[in-house]
Structure 1
C-alpha cells in the first residue's frame, strides 16, 4: 500500500486501526462511564423468562456505598463480637445482616452517612379513602424517619386537593403525583410497581441515592434511619416470622410468575415496606411489573398481588439487608418479647370501610 509516496505495510495499518479502537474504548468506558456503575448481575437461570434485561446506571459512585468513613475522634461504645443479642438471629444464611434493636450503633452509622450527604426518596400511595391515613404517616415520619437527613416524599393519590399540609424540616420535601382511582384495591396494589419504576426512570436517577416504598396506612413509632440502608432491603412480615415456611402465603400455583413451591423460600417479606439503592429497586419493580402483566395475560392474579411477586423476586435475588419485624409491625398485635421496639406499624383499620371492593 502506498500513501503520499510512502510504502505502508498492511500490518502497520492494522496496528494503527487497533490503536485507534483502543483509544476510543479507553475514552468511552473509562472517562464517560466512570461516572456510573453498571454493576447489575445477569438474571439467574432460575429466574422467570420475563425478568428484564434492562440496566440502569447507578447514580452512586463505587466507593460511595462501600467506603465507610467516620469523623475523626468520634466517641462511641466499644463493639464486641462475643456480647450482644442472643435471643434472635442477626444474619441470614447468605450473610446479610438482619437488623434488630441492639445490633447497631445509631451514632456511629449516622456519622458515616451524614458525610455522604445522601438523598432518600420515599413513595407512599394514598388512593381513595386511604388518604385519611396520610397526615398521620407524614407527621410521624417527621419525628422518626431519617431525621436530619435529606428526604423527598412522593405521594401518589387520586385526591391531590386532600393532601394535608405538614410542616417539614429543612432538607425535607413532599411532591404530589396524581394517579387514577380504581374500583379494585388489588389493581391499586398491582400498579404500584409500574409507578415506582417510572418514578425512578423519570425523576430520581439524578437526584436520589436510596428509595423506600412504604404503606400509607402505617405510622412511625420510633427511629427508622441509616441502619436500614442497603442494596436491596426487605422487611420480614410480622405475621409469619415465627412460622414454618410451609405456612407462608406464597403464590402456590405453578402457572403464576409469582410461584414459590413448597419447600422453597427464605422468609415471608412485607409488600408494605421495601427499598434500597435506586438501581436495585428499579430492577425489582420492573421485574414484578413484567411478571404481573404476564400473569394478567394468562388470566392469573397472584394470591397477594405485588407482595406475592415481591416474595418470588426476593427468594431468587437475595436482599443484602433484612429488617426485622420492628420495621413493619401491626398495631393490633401485642409486642413479642424479642421485639424490643416498634419502629413502623400498620394502624388499626376497618378494611370494609376503606377498600372499594371489600
Structure 2
C-alpha cells in the first residue's frame, strides 16, 4: 500500500498540471480569438488584465458590462502586446467639404497622423468633393490615405445624410475588405494625445462632453413619438456624441442602414430629426460594446473638470 502512495501523488500532480496548462491555453486562446474576431467582444471586455476599475471617481462599466474607457482604466502594455501580433489595420473616415476643408482638414490630418493608432496600419479615408483643396499630407510609417469622391444628388440636402450615403457606398465597395476596425469622425477635431487600441471594439460610442455630467432626464433625445429617432422620457442610457463613432466595418454599416431607414421613414411622415438623434436611438436599441469617456472628445470651450485627466481630442463645437 505504501509503495502506491507516491505513485498516486505523482499521478495527481501530473493531472493537476495537465489541467492547469489546459485552462491557461484556453484562456489565451479566447483572448486572442476575441481580439481577432471582434464580434465576440464581450469575452475580451471581461479580462480584468485589460480593463479594470482604478478610477473610483468615474463610472467605468455600463449596466450591460461594456467598459467605459478613461485614462487609467486599461492596461496599455497588455493591449499593445496582443494587437501588435495580429497585424490589424484601422480605418479613419472623415468628411470634408466647403469651409471645413480650409478651416480644419490639415490640422485634423496632421494631428491624427501624430496621435491616432501609432504603430499600427492606418488608412485615412478622406471624403471630398474638390480634391484641388486637399492640403499637403506627410504621413508617418504604416499609414496611408485614400481619396473618396463625394457624390451628391439634388434630393440630398442634409450634410450628414450625404456623408452617410457616400460612406455606405465606400464601405461596401472596398473599405470592409481593407480594415479590421473603422472610425468615422467629423473634421472639426484636433487630436491632442494618443488615441490607441484601447478604443477598439465591435461597436464604439463616444459619450458627449456637454451631457455626461448632467442628469439623464435632460438629455436632448428626439421626443416626438412619430419620429424613428424617438426615445421616451425616462428611457435611455447615455447621450452619445456624433463626432466619433466606430467599430467593425460591418457594425458601422449596420448603423448607416438603420439611419437611412429612419430618415426615409421620417420623410414620409413629414418629420426631420438630426443625425445625432438617430445615432442615439440606434445605440439605445443596439448597446455599444465599448464607450469612450469625454476625455476622448472634449469641448475646450468648457471648463475641464478633475475627472478629465488627458484630453485625447479637442472638439471645436463653435464651427458646427
Report if TM-score (shorter chain) is over 0.5.
yes
Q: Which residue is equivalent to 1:120?
A: 90
Q: Is the 8 A contact 1:256 1:295 kept in 2?
A: yes
Q: 1:82 & 1:141 partners in 2: Cα distance?
A: 27
Give the drift of 1:135.
0.3
Q: Which residue is equivalent to 2:190?
A: 219
Q: Secondary structure at the match of 1:135?
A: helix
Give the drift of 1:191.
2.5
Which of 102, 107, 110 is matched with 2:80 structurally? 110
Could you say what the CA RMSD is over the residues aligned between the two structures, in angstroms? 2.6
Q: Which residue is equivalent to 2:23?
A: none
Q: Which residue is equivalent to 2:29?
A: none
Q: Which has the higher helix share?
A: 2
Q: 2:176 & 2:155 partners in 1: Cα distance?
A: 31
Residues 1:329 and 2:301 are matched in the alignment:
no
Which of 275, 288, 313 is matched with 1:344 structurally? 313
1:287-310, CA deviations, whole angstroms, 9 ceiling, x for partnerless residues? 1111112212222111xx211101
Q: Secondary structure at the match of 1:322?
A: strand
1:215-274, CA deviations, whole angstroms, 9 ceiling, x for partnerless residues? 100000001010000010001000000111211111110111000110111000011101
Which 4+ stretches in 1 moved above 6 angstroms?
80-83, 181-186
Q: 1:300 & 1:83 partners in 2: Cα distance?
A: 43
Q: Which residue is equivalent to 1:165?
A: 136
Which of 50, 63, 70 is matched with 1:100 structurally? 70
Q: 1:124 & 1:334 partners in 2: Cα distance?
A: 27
Q: Is the 8 A contact 1:100 1:326 kept in 2?
A: yes
Q: Which residue is equivalent to 1:65?
A: 37
Give the drift of 1:317.
0.3
Q: 2:181 & 2:50 partners in 1: Cα distance?
A: 29
1:294-339, CA deviations, whole angstroms, 9 ceiling, x for partnerless residues? 212222111xx21110100000100000110111111212211001
Q: 1:315 & 1:279 partners in 2: Cα distance?
A: 18
Q: Which residue is equivalent to 1:310?
A: 279
Q: Is the 8 A contact 1:128 1:181 kept in 2?
A: no
* Structure 2 stretches lacking a partner, 5+ long: 1-32, 42-47
Q: Which residue is equivalent to 1:75?
A: none
How many correspondences in the alignment? 281
Larger Rg: 1
Q: Which residue is equivalent to 1:27?
A: none
Q: Which residue is equivalent to 2:19?
A: none
Q: 2:317 & 2:237 partners in 1: Cα distance?
A: 28
* Structure 1 stretches lacking a partner, 5+ long: 1-60, 69-77, 352-358
1:3-82 matched pairs, under 5 angstroms: 64-65=36-37
Residues 1:238 and 2:209 are matched in the alignment:
yes
Q: Secondary structure at the match of 1:234?
A: strand
Q: Which residue is equivalent to 2:11?
A: none
1:328-353, CA deviations, whole angstroms, 9 ceiling, x for partnerless residues? 111212211001010012126455xx
Q: 1:239 & 1:182 partners in 2: Cα distance?
A: 34
Q: Which residue is equivalent to 2:20?
A: none
Which of 245, 254, 269 is matched with 2:240 structurally? 269
User: Structure 1's 82 and 288: CA in aligned 2 closer, same or farther, altered over 3 A?
Assistant: closer
